[in-house]
Each structure stands twice: as C-alpha cells, then as structure tokens.
Structure 1
C-alpha cells in the first residue's frame, strides 16, 4: 500500500516509538491521527506534523470509538493502524519481603498491552473492512508492537513478557482471520531503543545496555522502528509475520 494520502492511526503517538512512527508517516504523506492518553502531548505532535490529536484510552471502547470518530471526521476512514501504546513493569513473583507480587500489576499490564491492543484492532478492522479495496486488492494494514521480551524475558518481566507474547501469538491468527477482509497484520518486536523512558536511566546504565547489543553496539533509534513500521505498510507480501528489530540482541536472565 502506498502511504501517501492514506489516513493513519498511531496509538501512543505522543512520545517514543509512537511519536517517531507518526512523524515518519506524515513525512511520507499520510494523514495522521495521534492517539494518546496524554492529550497535551498529542496536540503538540499533531500540530507539528499537520495531523489531528485524539485523546484515547485503548482499554476503553467508548474512548476508542470517540477517537476513531474524530480521526475519521478529519481524514476519512483509516487504512493504517500502528498499535504502539503500551507500558512496562518489573515485579518478581515473590518479592524480597517474601510476599507474592500484586495481582493488580499483572492484570494492568496485560490489560493495556494485550487487551487494549486487541480492542483497538477490532474496532479499527470493523471500519476498515467496509472500505473499497485499493488497486492492489487490499483494504488496510495493521501493526502491533511486541518486544524481544516476548521471547527472552528477564527476571521480573512475567507480566510484560506475557502481554507481548500474547501479541506475538495473536499475529498469525488475526492475519488469517482478516484475510477475507483484505487487511494485513504484522508485529515488530523491538529490542533496546532510545525512548524517553530508557533515556531517563543513568548514563552508565545506558552504556551498559548498549554494549550488550552485538551489532551495532548502541541503542536502537526510534526512527529505525518507524522506518520498519512504514516498510511493512508498503510491502504488500508482509503478512502474519513477527519481525525482531534488535541488533541480534538476546536478553540475559537479568
């Protein structure tokens, strides 16, 4: 699918990998809706790229539908969905105090990262499926953002790894399910990237993390994630695939 002129949605689009993706889509000529819980940051990014900002909680169906309605009113029904919103967590299942990890933390991470992404996908797909097919026969493209933690999660990452592993496991069956509607589905599993959250770590920690990556021995650039996300849109034979983007990194146990 050619990106130029298409309406696109980016969840988590106000910062980090989502912001980079929103900016790259806009650079390539897409009409971008920046969806994020942080309405103020979303407005800032949207203003800078000529898009529209939509306050959105991906776990809340009414909130998602309101965001989709606003984006649709501005740009038409979207053919591109970039699911980038998510949160992290690190809780040992048995803490140093001997107490079990709080169940609420596990539920919250899985609800946002996995259930929220599914909620966004189902509501987007239902609208996209009603569109006329493009010249190449497809109607839309959807991307999920997993993590290398889906495959080699570290100590304390049970909730995060489970949520990202769920996205990996959902990719192929969703691609098969949506084939009848001519909507492609792929997932990117990034490694260690220079996102605002990671950049808050001490410099020595950042350097240590970068040194653990075989090549190139540096943190990934958000722009590199965005480039791959946009390539998935333009490469019509990519479907049902999970792509690691990690510099050959395999995470150590801790």
Structure 2
C-alpha cells in the first residue's frame, strides 16, 4: 500500500544551506534510505548522500531523522505516521561537506591515537588461549560498525567544539576499554599504560555517562554500562585506591633499585 509523504531534507554545503520540501511516494516495507534514493531519481538528482551496504553493517548512511541520530537504511517508514513530516538532516557534530554528507575525519584521527593491540611475547599464532567469558566481554565491542552515531549524539562532542582536541568520544573510549580488558594485550610490557592514556590523552573525565551513546547504537552495544563505566572504575582504582597506589610505589622503587 502506497501513500504520499512530505519530506524536508537539508540541502547545502560548508557555506550554509537549509531545508528543502519534497512530496514523495512511500511504498510498503521501505526505509528512509529508499525515499532518499527516490528523491535522487525523481526530484533532486544532485542530492549528496553517503551509503554502501543498505543492510545496517557499513555504518555509512548515518544522519539525523526528526532530530534523532539514526541509520537511514535501518529506519523503517512504518514507524512514522503517514501524515507526519519527516525531516532528514546531516549529523550535527561534524562539518558538512554537502547535503547529508559530513566530514567524519575527526573520528579517524582519534582512532589513530589509540595504541593498537600488543600480542603477548613468546606466544605464536594459534597458541592464544582465552576463557569464553573474556571472549564474550570484548566481542561485544567488536560489533561496532563505526557509524559514529554515538560520537554524534555525545553532547561533549556535539555541543562543545572546543572539547574535540582533548576528547576521543565514546566510540574510541570503548576501544581503549576493549583493549584494557583484553587478557592477552601486553601493551603494559611495552610501556603503554592504557588507563593513564584514557584519562590524560583521550579525555575520559569529560564523559558524564548520560547513556545517550548507548541509546543510538544500532548494534545495541551497551557502551556506557559495559565499556565506559568499567573503564572509569579501573582508572579511579589506579589513581585513588590507596592499596593500588602503595603497590605501584613499591614496584617503582624495586625497579629503581634493579636499575
């Protein structure tokens, strides 16, 4: 069953723009990305939109639909009232390139700042052994499709441009948490302190765990509860627990004597 819907789509570039209105046919079972493609085919052939898989796995068609960060390919038209005006705008936290396409290079820069996994010394390929509960814990974070909706909705990034240089955002703090929880990561033996880096280099203290990142994650990753809060607890234990502090001081003295 088809019906006519009214869309408002943001058109413009880095110099500015505004909402353009369109009346477009909607067919049963379609998603917002289908409608954007129909607009390209019928009314706005120069409309810029980023997409690839149309299956909710590439993360490229992120936008804001009626003000909520969503994947266009996973937002069914059936969730809206047929009489409702659907507004589609680019992600607000990132600079607009053109129309619905934004410059997400901030995220790639932050990814490069996270020290990579360090294999344990003396363990060859095929010799890694992990308990299933450890596999399950880090596997959840590996479901991330890097749609950057969590980055976009985080108010630390979204509303405060001045925070971006010092704040990695929930997606990459989750990556730090994943590596810090990984039982085979030997980064500490190479001098990489992931907990200290989370606090000093990636801006963990800026996060006030509002859970907005978790709410928009299309993979239902519990970013706040399973990554950010445990990472904060580990950092606090390292920095403020008196027994941990004493143990670290004793170890440092021991290394100084050995040297």
Larger Rg: 2
With normalisation by structure 2, the TM-score equals 0.23
Larger relative contact order (C-alpha < 8 A, sep ≥ 6)? 1
